Structure 1
Amino acid sequence: MKSPRSFITRLILAVTLLIAAFPLGFLLIPGLNSKSKPTQLVVHREMRFSDVLDKLQASGAIRERWQPELIARMVPKFRTIKAGRYTIPPNTSNFGLLWYLRTHPLDEVRVTLPEGIDRRKMARILSRKLDFDSTQFMAATENPRLLAKYGIRASHAEGYLLPGTYDFAWGSSPDEAASFLIRQFKKLYTTERQQRAAALGFNEHSLLTLASIVEAETPLDKEKPTVASVYLHRLRIGMRLQADPTVQYALGGTTRRLYYKDLAIASPYNTYRNKGLPPGPICNPGKASIIAVLNAPQSGYLYFVATGTGGHYFGASLQEHHANVQKYKQARSSNE
């Protein structure tokens, strides 16, 4: 026969374990404090942990906030939650919820940045998709420390932000977004391409400057090498580039038709008045334009004019050019 003392000891132990297990159950058992459906959570930069709990409770993701608050007091690292968009799984335990917010990859947003846009337009697109203001992205592209990190010897990163379609973490900071786009260009600009640029007499900055002009001149990848060949030819013989997009850039980025008076504007970007390349890129060129400059043929062309149907006529002499201009005028008048 078991002694009463042994029974009491076992009873006390069982009660102690139950008391200890009760709060642990609240903390660890799935579904006790959470929804049975997934919940969306948006965490903005600078939000406090208490603000996050407020949002979780308001959305119904949790019923009581004291339980995750208790865990965060025991494990202070849980109080740090990165800005981002999260999809909270259903029936999550309190501990599982905080572990998820601490370790789970952030929801990503697909962003398309068209070739040939400038950094202001990039800033507007990114600010509509990610959790920052366009002015913050502009400031990031002018951050001296960021520019120095990537060896950009200019006052801003125009031209170095490689366009494309990318998946960004929604909570990406402006510096992170700018750095990512610069790194995409750096990956493209391989050692072999650096050597090719040097053989043409270009450094990174001058290559991007000419590529940006090519980008602004034509959206057609198939004719970009020929457009590049015209400008390379002009540079070789000391002829002014006379590129309309550089004047449009000098006028504040307008895309309107230029008048003769516009060609006289006093600006280092006006390639009708100044020989050589302008001081820097006028937009952010895509891969095709950069490669076009590096691999342009020696075409012998010095001139080109729009066809009126999307492409260009090319000519090696003024006589050819004037004939092509007449073709353009005829095409335009027939479309009016």
Structure 2
Amino acid sequence: MSNGSKKQEMLSKMQERKSEVKIVRRIVAIIAAVIIIALAGAGWFGYSYVKEALQPIDPNATKTIAVEVPIGSSLSTISALLEKKGIIKDARVFKYYAKFKNESQFQAGDYDLTKAMTFDELIESLKTGKVYRKPVFTMTIPEGLTLEQIGNIIEKKTPYTQQQFMDLVTSDAFVQQMMANYPELITDAVLADTIRYDLEGYLFPATYPYYEEKPSLEAIVEEMISAMNDVVRNYSDVLAEKEMSVHELLTFASLLEEEATAQTDRETIASVFYNRIKTDMPLQTDPTVLYALGGHKDRVLYEDLEVDNVYNTYKNKGLPPGPIAGAGKSSIEATLNPSKTEYFYFLADKEGVNHFSKTYDEHLQKVEKYLRKAE
């Protein structure tokens, strides 16, 4: 073979090798691109999956699901249980989220959970042993409000009107149902003809959370009654010892609540009322006059004290027929644990400070000193 032929053959082989290298490079590039795309796709899928798994299964769910966490359950066991019950999407995501938050001390017990709960809400519930959820809205019922005043708050905070509320709480059927549900709290005493509203004073003042936009009006009211039942049952032994009924307790406590100011000593006011009852003196407390009149006044006049009404404690001795407002826990406890004093009179000055007296003459002197001279 001539030198020219050999040279041509070498050039041909070199050209073939260059072509092969180009093809290999192209294949490698394609494979690398496919791998990158696959990894990116897998990463995006993983990111989307985890992001979705971190969200509540159904943010609008209200139905509760019973979950029993056995004693000694590990985080892995609890996570798997929540996934099995449909509370969360993925047990592994919940487990790693809890570990990332350094949360592991969960309590055994029976829980009523929902698909609307976030991971943080679930963790808080499992840590405290209580079901924790962020409420849709809350409603605060302050101490010392009448049913009509509570109705005003409900009208502002819920879709229900004050009239709808009053229609419900004065409904014989609803009252009877509450008596059946809470027999130790609501007794036949509320059915006396002299009582204005059967359930007056039986709705506990507190801040209530709601986890749905429109809870039923019946559920709203019953929750307040149930809260009062929970509070009062703690004092059943004391009531038995004092031979005092729940109705008397709530009636007495409502007087303290209405007489209270920011600086009021409820226990001492309670002692004044008890001292008057023991000596057959009328209680003569202005809030009962206002309740008898059916409205609020900045100042009770002498002519108001003569109103002919069973709630007027200037005209009638002893407690009124029933509560005149909703009493808080402090007034209830003051009713059961009054101070021991010899006071029969008290007044609040312009600053809300109370001044107590043993005699009427002493009381008149304090009226002159703290009220009339201040006018």
TM-score tier by shorter-chain length is 0.5 to 0.7
Name the counterpart of 2:241. Answer: 199
Name the counterpart of 2:157. Answer: 129
**Counterpart amino acid of residue 150 in structure 1:** Y
Q: Deviations over 1:53-80 (max 9, x none)?
A: xxxxxxxxxxxxxxxxxxxxxxxxxxxx
Say which SS state the counterpart of residue 190 (structure 1) adopts. helix
Q: Is the 8 A contact 2:252 2:335 kept in 1?
A: yes
Over 3 Å counting, the alpha-carbon distance change for 1:190 and 1:240 in structure 2 is same
Supply the distance in 2 between the matched residues of 1:300 and 1:253 (Cα, whole angstroms): 33
Say which SS state the counterpart of residue 144 (structure 2) adopts. coil
Q: Is the 8 A contact 1:131 1:173 kept in 2?
A: no
Counterpart of 2:275 (choices 233, 240, 265) is 233
Shift of 1:291: 0.9
Over 3 Å counting, the alpha-carbon distance change for 1:160 and 1:282 in structure 2 is same
**Counterpart amino acid of residue 314 in structure 1:** F
Supply the distance in 2 between the matched residues of 1:255 and 1:146 (Cα, whole angstroms): 35
Q: TM-score, normalised by structure 2?
A: 0.58
Query: Matches of residues 1-336 of structure 1 in structure 2 within 5 Å?
Result: 104=116, 108-142=136-170, 143-148=174-179, 149-151=181-183, 152=186, 153=188, 154-155=190-191, 156-169=198-211, 170-191=213-234, 193-220=235-262, 223-330=265-372, 332-333=374-375
Q: Is the 8 A contact 1:140 1:146 kept in 2?
A: no
Shift of 1:299: 1.3
Q: Is the 8 A contact 1:221 1:288 kept in 2?
A: no
- The runs of 5 or more residues in structure 2 that have no matched partner are 1-47, 49-58, 61-113, 118-132, 192-197
Supply the distance in 2 between the matched residues of 1:219 and 1:173 (Cα, whole angstroms): 34
Shift of 1:323: 1.8
Supply the distance in 2 between the matched residues of 1:167 and 1:261 (Cα, whole angstroms): 44
**Counterpart amino acid of residue 123 in structure 1:** G
Over 3 Å counting, the alpha-carbon distance change for 1:127 and 1:146 in structure 2 is farther
Q: Is the 8 A contact 2:175 2:199 kept in 1?
A: no
Shift of 1:199: 3.0
**Counterpart amino acid of residue 190 in structure 1:** R
Name the counterpart of 2:83. Answer: none
- The runs of 5 or more residues in structure 1 that have no matched partner are 1-29, 31-40, 43-101
Shift of 1:162: 0.8
Say which SS state the counterpart of residue 346 (structure 2) adopts. strand
**Counterpart amino acid of residue 271 in structure 2:** S
Say which SS state the counterpart of residue 309 (structure 1) adopts. coil
Q: Is the 8 A contact 2:203 2:228 kept in 1?
A: yes
Supply the distance in 2 between the matched residues of 1:264 and 1:330 (Cα, whole angstroms): 22
Q: Is the 8 A contact 2:263 2:352 kept in 1?
A: no
Shift of 1:328: 1.6
**Counterpart amino acid of residue 208 in structure 2:** Y
Over 3 Å counting, the alpha-carbon distance change for 1:322 and 1:222 in structure 2 is closer
Q: Is the 8 A contact 1:226 1:297 kept in 2?
A: yes
Q: Is the 8 A contact 1:161 1:178 kept in 2?
A: yes
Supply the distance in 2 between the matched residues of 1:321 and 1:258 (Cα, whole angstroms): 18
Q: Is the 8 A contact 2:143 2:205 kept in 1?
A: yes
Q: Deviations over 1:286-317 (max 9, x none)?
A: 11111111111111111001222112100111
Identity of paired residues, percent?
35
Over 3 Å counting, the alpha-carbon distance change for 1:103 and 1:138 in structure 2 is farther
Shift of 1:330: 4.9
**Counterpart amino acid of residue 318 in structure 2:** G
Say which SS state the counterpart of residue 332 (structure 1) adopts. coil
Shift of 1:103: 5.3
Over 3 Å counting, the alpha-carbon distance change for 1:221 and 1:183 in structure 2 is farther
Q: Deviations over 1:237-282 (max 9, x none)?
A: 2111001100000001323311111111110001101111111111
Q: Is the 8 A contact 1:146 1:179 kept in 2?
A: no
Supply the distance in 1 between the matched residues of 2:220 and 2:295 (Cα, whole angstroms): 23
Supply the distance in 1 between the matched residues of 2:315 and 2:267 (Cα, whole angstroms): 25
Q: Deviations over 1:58-117 (max 9, x none)?
A: xxxxxxxxxxxxxxxxxxxxxxxxxxxxxxxxxxxxxxxxxxxx9537952111111101
Q: Deviations over 1:119-160 (max 9, x none)?
A: 111111122212322222222322233332223232521111
